[in-house]
Amino acid sequence: MWAADGGQVIVLVEGFLGNGLGVAAQQREHAERRSAAVNSGTTQAHVAITFAAYNAGRCRNLDDDNLCRIYERRPLVCRIYPMEINPHIPLNPAIKECPPESWEKGPDLIIGGELVDQELAGLIQRSRQADRDEIRTKDAICASLGIRTTALKGDGFTAYLPDMGAFASVIEHVTQQPLPTDGSEWQFHVSGDDIASQLLSGGARVTTEPPLQYTFISLRAA
Ligand code: SF4
């Protein structure tokens, strides 16, 4: 819908190895459920793919009065904001875009560490389920678009801005076919030689080519 409205979608990819490299043990279950099991080199990996709206600056749907022009059909992520979809990320008002006064209006979202708005809790569950249900389709869409390089979870993301015409036709094609049964193959782009050698020891494929098709967003402290 975002692309059909003339918006740009950004594809963000992060992965971890089957041996656990890249994911904390307590986060593994959540991370694995929303990832595709793929191959990299001689080992197995898990790749999470996010299709997100990409806006340079303010959202393209904000009108001159700062109101949403598509409010009735706004994306699920907008309905969930400012809550976190990832259960391992606590809500931290200080890092949200909402101005301080917006946190003083409306009902409390969390009481005693529990999310009290049941409608919101249902939307978060819907989003998590969609992540699980759609991951293999997203992997197949990425394969058709030539998106095959992931970052290591925690080290960064690879970010792609596909042509939206190609994106729409690939989605249409992939969703009308049975999903491929052969193993999907990915390589890693990492922030430094130390991470690369850990991945190579685990059997993964690591690229040293400069990125042409994507940007590497490093999460490594400068
Ligand atoms: S609710 Fe979502 S789509 Fe609407 S203006 Fe805000 S960010 Fe944009």
pLDDT tens readout for residues 25-34:
999 999 999 9
Is residue 67 situated within a structural domain? no
Q: Which of 23-27, 28-32, 85-89, 173-177 has the lowest mean pLDDT?
A: 85-89
Is residue 173 situated within a structural domain? yes
Question: What does the block give as tokens for 113?
Answer: 């560490």
- Is the distance from the beta carbon of residue 60 to the nearest atom of ligand 1 less than 6 Å? no
All residues at 6 or more sequence positions from 143 whose CB lies less than 8 Å from its CB, including other chains: 180, 184
Q: Which of 2-11, 19-28, 85-94 has the lowest mean pLDDT?
A: 85-94
Is residue 155 situated within a structural domain? no
**Do 26 and 88 form a contact (C-beta atoms < 8 A)?**
yes
Boundaries of domain holding 188 = 8-58+116-149+160-200
Q: List pLDDT tens digits, range 105-163.
A: 777 777 776 778 888 899 999 999 999 999 999 999 999 999 999 999 999 999 999 99
The total domain count for the chain is 1
- The whole-number pLDDT of residue 222 equals 65
Is residue 26 situated within a structural domain? yes
Query: Measuring from atom 6 of ligand 1, which residue has the nearest CA?
Result: 68
Spacing, Cα 175 to ligand 1 middle (Å)? 27
**Do 15 and 153 form a contact (C-beta atoms < 8 A)?**
yes
**Do 180 and 142 form a contact (C-beta atoms < 8 A)?**
no
Is residue 176 situated within a structural domain? yes
